[in-house]
Amino acid sequence: MTIPHETWTGRSANLDILRPFGCLTYTLIPQGQRQFKIQPPAEKGIFLGYENDFSTYRIFKPSEKRAIRSRDIKFVENAFPGLKSCSS
């Protein structure tokens, strides 16, 4: 069984790049932008999706309340900070 991408391009799709929507991310802060030596090297975010060419990721930064684009991301695929836990 093939998927439409394989039929269209003649190549198998690389599914390793897919990440779950809304998962926790850590975005690298370049050394030149860090204010202090003891500042953490990464900042938490929430995965929103991909740019059109899949070269960068769209990340929501709750600390700044805005979305950014970045390539240097670490994903925590089993953590979803945007979900609220229901306790009943």
Is residue 32's pLDDT more than 90?
Answer: no
Greatest mean pLDDT range, 15-19, 29-33, 63-67: 63-67
Strand partners, 1: none
Domain boundaries, the chain: 18-76
CB atoms within 10 A of CB 82: 13
Q: Which helix (H) or strand (E) holds 5?
A: helix 4-9
> What span, in angstroms and rounded, lies between the C-alpha atoms of 56 and 59?
10
CATH topology for 18-76? SH3 type barrels. (2.30.30)
* Alpha carbon distances (Å) from 83 to 22, 23, 46, 80: 8, 10, 11, 6
pLDDT bucket at 20, cuts 50 / 70 / 90: very high
Summarize the confidence of residues 19-38 as an average pLDDT.
Answer: 88
pLDDT bucket at 44, cuts 50 / 70 / 90: very high
Q: What pLDDT is stored for residue 12 in this prediction?
A: 82
> What span, in angstroms and rounded, lies between the C-alpha atoms of 74 and 88?
33
Q: What pLDDT is stored for residue 62 in this prediction?
A: 93
Is residue 71's pLDDT more than 60?
Answer: yes
14 neighbors 3 (Cβ within 8 angstroms): no
